[in-house]
Amino acid sequence: MQDNTQLRNQYPKFIFESYTVERNAEGIHAKFVYKLGKHTFEPTVDISVSDIRNSVFNIQFVEYLFFNFGIINAINYYKLTCSPKFEIKAGPLDERQKEFFKKLFYNGLGEFMYVNKLNIPYEDFMEIIADEPSPNRPDYEFEDFRPSGNLIPVGGGKDSVVTLEALRDMHVDNICLQYNRNIYPENLAAHSCITQAGYSMDSIADFNLTLDGHMLELNKQGFLNGHIPFSSCLAFAAYIMAYLNNKKYIVLSNEASANEGNVAGTNINHQYSKSIEFENDFRSYCNDYFTPKIEYFSLLRCINEYTIVQKFIKYPRYLSIFRSCNAGMHENKWCSHCAKCLYVFIMLYPFVPLERLGLIFGDNLFNDRSLLQIFIGLVNPDTTKPFECVGTREEINYSLKLAVEHTNGHLPFLLQYYKDHFYNPKALYNVENYYNPQHNIPQEYVNMLARV
């Protein structure tokens, strides 16, 4: 492994060189060119013509949307060195746009820099270099653009299932978005949940991004690797797909719990690009630089993970097909050895029969002694919370309290450990009936969520 500071010095500049967007009979093909020293990366995006339902879209506006997507997509390659300068030759940015992307890169790579021991203050992190926009920048016309309905990104976890069920009454007005389904088997959880919710292939749109394999080769050579703010890449991709499909709302499934960080005393949050801070920033950016006719919000922002579980278990037909384990993603399974699997097991345990949980995870995870350190990280506020999309420690401890109190007879290993070291029968938790007023959800959608 090379010295991380040395990589920043060795590669002082990362360049977004150019991009192209081609419209043809098969759909839309976009290509981006990034340069890092002698290395060149050329990722592509393909959108099938069958996934474009706006027959009169403005291709110049689509090109501009892809330019913006190209900036955030660059983070996959920029992270190889975290170069101090990011030069954008592909198009102009004003100062506010530069600040938006700098903040997004910095906070979105917070976990990445923490794990890779890159202690870089914000002011020294990145200088974005780009031409100033022309005073005569294009003024795209949206008078004839009358979007309606919802674009629903679906990942295959319990959260997106709740969103699908909440918006069931708007079924004919919804399009479900799958990101990169082309590189996974068709029985991926997202696809299974979408079809289980009653959608046909005619109501599914695919955004297919192909990463440049040279990046993986450099990772093997010792260049930096780690977590990126994937949900921010999804946000820009979803905006493109909403425009191409005449959808007014991009409806995410990020809950209030995503706002809690992982490392005490810092702003480091594995779920930064799922947080209300990013959501607000992105909404403001889209309103000012794209069009206010398309809105981005999370339907679940007003509730916590505990409430989502209560809603999810009302639809047991999804129990055998939902997935949210990153380690088992490519095989469409729960690995049963990671923090995400243990977390979901904890949240379901008080409410789903143990036999059914065994069919999902392959075993009673509370008996697995190898999960002890992960377990402690999930429940103990004095430790770093595992870098996964998990709920707050308050929710986790409350679910474990219920698990201890509802388990008859002998407690499995992890529950006994919890009872011996953390359990407090008199503890009060602000978990049930939780409501977060800091959200961007239209009132009619709040009402639909309440009915689930």
Summarised one tens digit per residue, pLDDT across range 419-433 is 999 999 999 898 998
Cβ-in-10-Å burial (0-12, 13-18, 19+) of 180 comes to: middle
- Looking at the structure, do residues 9 and 86 belong to the same domain, yes or no? yes
Whether the per-residue pLDDT at 183 is higher than 70: the answer is: no
Q: Residues 82-92: pLDDT tens digits?
A: 999 999 999 99
Whether the per-residue pLDDT at 413 is higher than 80: the answer is: yes
Write down the pLDDT at residue 186.
46
- Looking at the structure, do residues 270 and 344 belong to the same domain, yes or no? no
Q: Long-range contacts made by residues 444-449, C-beta under 8 angstroms, separation at least 24?
A: 445/166, 445/167, 445/249, 445/251, 445/297, 445/299, 446/302, 448/166, 448/167, 448/169, 448/170, 449/162, 449/166, 449/299, 449/300, 449/302, 449/303
E-strand ranges in 37-126 read 39-41, 44-48, 85-88
Q: Residues 302-323: pLDDT tens digits?
A: 999 999 999 999 999 999 999 9
Percent of the chain at pLDDT exceeding 90: 87
Q: Of 298, 322, 354, which closes a domain? A: 298
Write the secondary structure of 13-44 as one string of H (helix), E (strand) and C (coil): EEEEEEEEEEEECCEEEEEEEEEECCEEECCE
Domain membership of residue 266 (yes or no) is yes
Domain membership of residue 438 (yes or no) is no
Domain membership of residue 316 (yes or no) is no
Kindly give, in sequence order, each residue whose CB lies less than 8 Å from that of residue 327, ignoring residues fewer than 6 positions away: 335, 337, 338, 340, 341
Contact of 73 with 3, CB cutoff 8 Å: no
Whether the per-residue pLDDT at 101 is higher than 60: the answer is: yes
Segment 353-362 mean pLDDT:
94
* Residue 74 phi, psi (nearest 5): -60, -20
CA distance 352 to 309: 10
Residue 184 pLDDT grade (very low, low, confident, very high; cuts 50, 70, 90):
low
Domain membership of residue 273 (yes or no) is yes
Whether the per-residue pLDDT at 1 is higher than 60: the answer is: no
Kindly give, in sequence order, each residue whose CB lies less than 8 Å from that of residue 269, ignoring residues fewer than 6 positions away: 107, 110, 111, 258, 259, 260, 261, 262, 275
Residue 354 pLDDT grade (very low, low, confident, very high; cuts 50, 70, 90):
very high
When mean pLDDT is compared across 93-97, 301-305, 405-409, the lowest value belongs to 405-409
Q: Of 275, 298, 321, which closes a domain? A: 298
Write down the pLDDT at residue 187.
47
CA distance 405 to 384: 27
CA distance 6 to 113: 14
CA distance 44 to 353: 45
- Looking at the structure, do residues 283 and 393 belong to the same domain, yes or no? no
Write the secondary structure of 375-394 as one string of H (helix), E (strand) and C (coil): HHHHHCCCCCCCCCCCCCHH
What token pair was written down for 449? 């969520």
Q: Of 257, 275, 298, which closes a domain? A: 298
- Looking at the structure, do residues 101 and 237 belong to the same domain, yes or no? yes
Domain membership of residue 93 (yes or no) is yes
Which residue blocks in 109-169 are alpha helix, DSSP H?
110-115, 122-125, 158-166
Residue 3 pLDDT grade (very low, low, confident, very high; cuts 50, 70, 90):
low
- Looking at the structure, do residues 215 and 293 belong to the same domain, yes or no? yes
Domain membership of residue 244 (yes or no) is yes
**pTM beyond cutoff 0.75:** yes
- Looking at the structure, do residues 408 and 266 belong to the same domain, yes or no? no
CA distance 187 to 319: 15
- Looking at the structure, do residues 132 and 216 belong to the same domain, yes or no? yes
For the chain, the domain total comes to 2
- Looking at the structure, do residues 292 and 336 belong to the same domain, yes or no? no
Percent of the chain at pLDDT exceeding 70: 98
Cβ-in-10-Å burial (0-12, 13-18, 19+) of 365 comes to: buried
- Looking at the structure, do residues 73 and 218 belong to the same domain, yes or no? yes
Segment 378-393 mean pLDDT:
93
- Looking at the structure, do residues 96 and 217 belong to the same domain, yes or no? yes
CA distance 90 to 302: 38
Please state, rounded to an integer, the average pLDDT across all residues of the chain: 94
Residue 2 pLDDT grade (very low, low, confident, very high; cuts 50, 70, 90):
very low
Write down the pLDDT at residue 36.
98
Q: Which domain holds residue 51?
A: 4-136+203-298
- Looking at the structure, do residues 84 and 127 belong to the same domain, yes or no? yes
When mean pLDDT is compared across 149-158, 182-191, 296-305, 365-374, the lowest value belongs to 182-191
Whether the per-residue pLDDT at 202 is higher than 90: the answer is: yes
Domain membership of residue 313 (yes or no) is no
Q: Within its chain, how far is the Cα of 284 from the centroid?
A: 19
Which SS3 state, helix, strand or coil, does residue 262 take?
coil
- Looking at the structure, do residues 78 and 13 belong to the same domain, yes or no? yes
Pairing of strands 27-36, 295-298: unpaired
When mean pLDDT is compared across 10-19, 161-170, 259-268, the lowest value belongs to 259-268
Domain membership of residue 393 (yes or no) is yes
